[in-house]
Amino acid sequence: MTQVSRYGHMLKVSVEKMKMTVVARFRVTGSVLQDTIEGEMLGAETTLEIESPDDPARVARVILNAERGCFVMQALLRPVPITTATILNGAALARE
């Protein structure tokens, strides 16, 4: 929603009110006791409710740009490398 406000301002499209509903689906398989646990995201659905006096085509342009400029959406659509580290009591924790 931040990007909608930002790009709406840039494109001079008035956004009077908006509400975003996000439904994410996840699944966990395996066992913690056997070190086989695996979580995965199965999908996400978003619904954006927006109120604007501007032309629907101009609002659609804002939404298109907002989706393209959304860091979270883009990270899900085009996965990026992730690095992790754990510090235990001030020292790096060795992991398999």
For residue 96, pLDDT beyond 80? no
Joined together, the tokens standing for residue 10 give: 């840039």
* pLDDT tens-place string over residues 2-22: 899 999 999 999 999 999 999
User: Please, where are the H alpha helices in the chain?
Assistant: 2-10, 56-68, 71-77
Domains of the chain: 2-92 (3.30.300.20)
Is the whole model's pTM more than 0.85, yes or no?
A: no
* pLDDT tens-place string over residues 22-70: 999 999 999 999 999 999 999 999 999 999 999 999 999 999 999 999 9
Work out the pLDDT band at 85, boundaries 50, 70, 90. Answer: very high
In whole angstroms, what is the distance from residue 5 CA to residue 16 CA?
Answer: 10
**25, β-bridge pairs:** 43
- The arithmetic mean of pLDDT across residues 70-90, rounded, is 94
Cβ neighbours of residue 57 closer than 8 Å, sequence gap 6 or more = none
